[in-house]
Structure 1
Amino acid sequence: MAKSSGNPLITGSGLWQRSPERVLFENLSFGLNSGDRIGLIGHNGCGKSTFLNILAGRDEPSEGSVSVSRAAVVSCVEQHVPRELLELTLAEAVRDALPADKRDWMDWKVDVILPEMGFEPHQSGVLCKDLSGGQMTRLMLARALMIEPNLLLLDEPSNHLDLPTILWLESFLKSWNGSFLMISHDVTLLDAVTNRSWIMQDRKLHAFDLPCTKALEEHEILTQARIARREAEEKEIKRVEASAKRIAEWGRTFDNEDLSRKAKSMEKMVDRMKDDQTDAVEAYPWNLSIAGEPIQADRLVQLKELEVTPPAADVFLYKVDDIAVRPGDRIAVMGANGTGKSSLLRCCWEKRKSEDGDIRVHPRCQIAFYDQTLQQLPGEANLVEGMVSVGEALNVDLRVADCEKTIISAGFKYNQLQQKISQLSGGERARLLLVSLSQVQANLMMLDEPTNHLDLYGRNELSNQLQSFNGSFLLVSHDRHLVEATCNRFWLVLNGRLQEVNDVDAAYELIAKDQVKPVKTTIDDYGSMEDAGDEEGASVTENSSEEDMLERLIELEELMAADLARRPNRQSPHLQAKWKDEIALIHEQLELTG
């Protein structure tokens, strides 16, 4: 493997890792040097996180050794906040990252690092369990930086982040002065921040002094050369085997010892050729074909005076004045989490047969909907039954035999056909739902975060299919590579309204400029009630002016709406209860109660 010119921080030699089912990787030797900004790439299940944990010292390899330089100060950025931190405040969780013997006299670092991660002073008292996904990523970075590392190990830091937070993460990594190794499936992020790529495939580590896209292109060239070389070797092996067989038959027929000896010599040659044969390239277990049909119509869907609300909540998010989806449209719905992008798609889906007039669908338009929760697939059904049920929900009759062929062609094994859907991984369920919807021959697909469970190769496969899709689609995604490669219209949900922008760069610019004020969540965030009146947006007191109370009432209603718009498991019922109490108090003081 090629090595960069910096001083070595971590080196590995003869690394093997075996799981109970298979070998994850074998005989890896590598060097991670100062100045390296490495993207670790590979399909789900190939062993990337296991490899990262071995570098971090959390796991031991089955064989081989890892050496960490004395000059290396290594810190990990985990995917998820550890459970034991959830009940701590933000400041306490960051302070916890310090060594126990330094927490008392070095906790001043907390006040330094939190602003660098984009937190406001009043947020230091917010409980970790009440942070958004983006804030949790910033928390994990803050914890990692407390020991002043020169090497960061990041395990999918952009996973499930919204676009504004991904842009912030990209800016942070660009300005980070140290080295890092980052697992990610985000091609755009990797291209922007890395200078090397390690591709894990076929139990090997393939190193390139190139960012992601160029590395994948170079790797594909080398892979095709390997395939061609192996095919030539197999052809030659078969030729020599056939010759040895013929000569052995002649030796027996004519009782010729010379021919028999030559045949045995050729058989030994075949054994040596097989031992020296180029390693086979394992096919990526992902194959997808999304079929769609165009429709001759002026418009497929017309949205007019549509009030967008989140599922199972009577909360108004924004109104869509008048906008249409036309044949050939490939529309990206963009914006931060919680603004109502997914709610827009769900409203369109749930009201597609409504006669209210706010959503009008062309009578011949067949719509397919990809729900990011994957709830369209019944967990107790097997794979074939799951595909059939998706078709039934769309009034499409799918034959069992056709479903079996389609599922196997999508990379599933025959013995998986009777497996329960609940036993599949997130990536496998996402693949099954996509291939199920592909059988519908839809005129319009509505895709809500389809890449959430997909690795880099699955995302590329989806991108290729959407580029050749004959119908139209609405796509909610924070994957910039997917959006840029497939979409020709861009809807942006920003500041409580839906607007269309001319191109994707204009959308990025508006999102980057939108500086959302940090959420002030509880009275405790502002200190005592006596001090609260001096803080912007603080809780009201009996001496607050009517204008202050009205301003606070608006802020509380926005907080409530934003929290209710989140997924149920991410909402904060105890905060909602406090907000309701404060809203009731303001109503009473303003004599708004009836």
Structure 2
Amino acid sequence: MAKSSGNPLITGSGLWQQLPERVLFENLSFGLNAGDRIGLVGHNGCGKSTFLNILAGRGESSEGSISVSRAAVVSCVEQHLPKHLFDLSLAEAVRDALPDDKRDWMDWKVEVILPEMGFEPHQSEVLCKDLSGGQMTRLMLARALMTEPNLLLLDEPSNHLDLPTIMWLESFLKSWKGSFLMISHDATLLDSVTNRTWILQDRKLHAFDLPCTKALEEHEVLTKARIARREAEEKEIKRVEASAKRIAEWGRTFDNEDLSRKAKSMEKMVDRMKDDQTEAVEAYPWNLSIAGETIQADRLVQLKDLDVTPPVADVFLYRIDDIAVRPGDRIAVMGANGTGKSSLLRCCWEKRQSDDGEVRVHPRCRIAFYDQTLQQLPGESNLVEGMVAVGEALGVDLRVPDCEKTIIAAGFKYNQLQQKVSKLSGGERARLLLVSLSQVQANLMMLDEPTNHLDLYGRNELSHQLRSFGGSFLLVSHDRHLVEATCNRFWVVQNGRLQEVNDVDAAYALIAETQVKPIKVAAEQEAPLEVEREEMVEAEASSSEDEQLERLIELEELMEADLARRPNRQSPHLQVKWKGEIAQIHEQLELNG
């Protein structure tokens, strides 16, 4: 692996992580050095967060060792705000990050760090539960910086952030003087702030002294070379096997010991060739084909005198006087959270068949809608029933055999067809919904944050499919790479109005004017922002509980697997650690009693 010139902060040797059902990674050796600004990428479920937790000392590897330099002051930026902080004030939550014996006499640091994170002094008493997702991210950064680290470990810090906050985070990381390792699926962010990339794939860590996009391109070249090398080796193995079999038959037919010995020697050669064979490349479990149709029409949808309101409250957000969506339009709807982007798509969807004239749809225009909540897929249905239900909601009759073929072609396994939708991960549900919508042959797709649950590879695949999509689409997204790669019109929702700009740079410039805003107390918040903030807090709390339940299941499986081993092969110290963590999760989720 390539190494940077800085002094080592963390080194790892022979790191393995074994789950009951599979190996996450094996024999990883690496060095994280001073000056490294590393992006850690890989598909969902490959073990990135587990790896990060091991580096942070919050988890243990099955084998191998981690060495942390005395010069390293490591701090983690949490992915979700701990629930016990929700009822604390902003200042109290930051103070909570200090060790108990330092909280009283280092209180001054709170007053210093909050302004650096964009908070005003009078906002220090705002409760954490009243913060938006972006404000919580800045709070979690503030907590991490209280110990004055020189190495930050960040686990998907840009998840669910709006574009202004992502741009703020990018600016913060650019100006950060220390080192960091960051898990992210945002290629644009990674390209902007990193100088190295670690790709976790096929249980190995592949290191490049390049930012994300260039690293992925080089890794793809190396991967294709591996595939070609393995195919050539397999071809040669089959040739030698066939020759050995043929010579062995001749030896038996003609009772020739020399030929028989030669055949056995060739069979041993085949065994050695298989042992030395290039390791197979695991296929990424994502395949997607979104088909659409263009219709000959002057316009697909006309929005006229449309009052955009959120679905949960009869509150006016802004009015659209007169704007049209035409064939060939690929429109990005951009702006900060709470401005009414998703509300615009939902208004169009709900009013598409009304007679009030606010949303006029061409009679031959078939519309497909991707809801970021993924509620279009019934949780208690299996995968095939879920796809059929999506089709019915859009007026399309999908046949079960066709759905089965489509789902399997999209990378799902045959034994998953009868699995309940509720048991799928967020990324799998997103993939299933996109695949379901692809069967509609829509003329217009309305996509509300389709990358929220997708990893970097899934985002790239979606970008590729949208570039070749035959119809038009309206896309709400904070993913700059996706917007830049696929869109040709740009609507910005800001300051209570929707305006169209000429290009994406003009959109970014307009959005950049939306500086990180001071936090308002709940009573002063506008109703739609308050509702959105409450929903975000609930969603993040729910997500945290889901992760704890998944961790509980994982711990119980680890315990069961270890106890099933012979006594001399068990790990008592790990069992004690697992039992403690299981008890802690039971207490947090109130499962005791």
- Compute the displacement of 1:428 (Å): 0.3
What is the aligned partner in structure 2 of residue 15 from structure 1? 15
| Same amino acid, percent of matched pairs | 87
1:352 match: secondary structure: coil
- Compute the displacement of 1:438 (Å): 0.1
Cα deviation 1:20-76 (Å, max 9, x = unaligned): 110000000000000000000000000000000000001110000000000000000
1:323 aligns with 2:290: no
- Compute the displacement of 1:83 (Å): 1.2
Question: Is the CA contact 1:340–1:565 (under 8 Å) kept in the aligned structure 2?
Answer: no
1:427 aligns with 2:394: no
- Compute the displacement of 1:130 (Å): 1.1
1:247 aligns with 2:214: no
1:139 aligns with 2:139: yes
2:105 match: secondary structure: helix
What is the aligned partner in structure 2 of residue 92 from structure 1? 92
Question: Is the CA contact 1:490–1:504 (under 8 Å) kept in the aligned structure 2?
Answer: yes
Q: What letter corresponds to residue 137 of structure 2 in structure 1?
A: T
- Compute the displacement of 1:86 (Å): 1.2
What is the aligned partner in structure 2 of residue 302 from structure 1? 302
2:473 match: secondary structure: strand
Cα deviation 1:295-318 (Å, max 9, x = unaligned): 100000000110000013111111
What is the aligned partner in structure 2 of residue 256 from structure 1? 256
What is the aligned partner in structure 1 of residue 165 from structure 2? 165
1:129 match: secondary structure: helix
Cα deviation 1:321-365 (Å, max 9, x = unaligned): 110000000000000000000000000000000110111000000
1:386 aligns with 2:386: yes
Question: Is the CA contact 1:122–1:520 (under 8 Å) kept in the aligned structure 2?
Answer: no
Q: TM-score, normalised by structure 2?
A: 0.90
What is the aligned partner in structure 1 of residue 401 from structure 2? 401
2:255 match: secondary structure: coil
Question: For 1:321-360, what aligned pairs fall within 5 Å after superposition?
Answer: 321-360=321-360
Q: TM-score, normalised by structure 1?
A: 0.90
1:59 aligns with 2:59: yes
Structure of larger gyration radius? 1
In 2: Cα distance, 1:224 partner to 1:478 partner? 31
Q: What letter corresponds to residue 121 of structure 1 in structure 2?
A: P
In 2: Cα distance, 1:158 partner to 1:424 partner? 23
Higher RCO (C-alpha under 8 Å, 6+ residues apart): 2
- Compute the displacement of 1:107 (Å): 1.2
What is the aligned partner in structure 2 of residue 559 from structure 1? 526
1:500 match: secondary structure: strand
In 2: Cα distance, 1:160 partner to 1:59 partner? 25
What is the aligned partner in structure 2 of residue 377 from structure 1? 377
- Compute the displacement of 1:516 (Å): 5.9
In 1: Cα distance, 2:532 partner to 2:68 partner? 46
What RMSD over aligned residues (CA atoms) do the two structures have, in Å? 1.2
Question: For 1:218-237, what aligned pairs fall within 5 Å after superposition?
Answer: 218-237=218-237
What is the aligned partner in structure 2 of residue 546 from structure 1? none
1:75 match: secondary structure: strand
Distance 1:568 1:6, change over 3 A: closer
What is the aligned partner in structure 2 of residue 78 from structure 1? 78
- Compute the displacement of 1:566 (Å): 4.7
Q: What letter corresponds to residue 82 of structure 1 in structure 2?
A: P
Q: What letter corresponds to residue 310 of structure 1 in structure 2?
A: P
In 1: Cα distance, 2:237 partner to 2:536 partner? 59
What is the aligned partner in structure 2 of residue 41 from structure 1? 41
- Compute the displacement of 1:522 (Å): 5.6
Cα deviation 1:448-493 (Å, max 9, x = unaligned): 0000000000000000000000100000000000000000000000
In 1: Cα distance, 2:295 partner to 2:38 partner? 46
Consecutive unaligned residues in structure 2, runs of 5 or more = 540-593
Distance 1:443 1:316, change over 3 A: same
Question: Is the CA contact 1:563–1:571 (under 8 Å) kept in the aligned structure 2?
Answer: no
1:106 match: secondary structure: coil
1:165 match: secondary structure: helix
What is the aligned partner in structure 1 of residue 276 from structure 2? 276
In 1: Cα distance, 2:486 partner to 2:460 partner? 11
Q: What letter corresponds to residue 564 of structure 1 in structure 2?
A: V
Distance 1:26 1:370, change over 3 A: same
In 2: Cα distance, 1:561 partner to 1:437 partner? 29
What is the aligned partner in structure 1 of residue 474 from structure 2? 474
Consecutive unaligned residues in structure 1, runs of 5 or more = 524-555, 573-594
Question: Is the CA contact 1:304–1:323 (under 8 Å) kept in the aligned structure 2?
Answer: yes
Q: What letter corresponds to residue 501 of structure 1 in structure 2?
A: V
Range moving further from structure 2, 225-234 or 251-260: 251-260
In 2: Cα distance, 1:571 partner to 1:494 partner? 25
Question: Is the CA contact 2:522–2:530 (under 8 Å) kept in the aligned structure 1?
Answer: no
1:6 aligns with 2:6: yes
What is the aligned partner in structure 2 of residue 122 from structure 1? 122
Question: Is the CA contact 1:313–1:565 (under 8 Å) kept in the aligned structure 2?
Answer: no
Deviant stretches of 4+, over 2 Å: 514-517, 558-562, 564-572
Question: Is the CA contact 2:130–2:522 (under 8 Å) kept in the aligned structure 1?
Answer: no
Question: Is the CA contact 1:501–1:507 (under 8 Å) kept in the aligned structure 2?
Answer: yes
Q: What letter corresponds to residue 416 of structure 2 in structure 1?
A: Q
Size of the aligned set, in residue pairs, is 539
What is the aligned partner in structure 2 of residue 68 from structure 1? 68
What is the aligned partner in structure 2 of residue 580 from structure 1? none
Question: For 1:503-514, what aligned pairs fall within 5 Å after superposition?
Answer: 503-514=503-514
Range moving further from structure 2, 255-264 or 211-220: 255-264
In 2: Cα distance, 1:498 partner to 1:571 partner? 29
- Compute the displacement of 1:571 (Å): 8.2
- Compute the displacement of 1:184 (Å): 0.1
What is the aligned partner in structure 2 of residue 493 from structure 1? 493
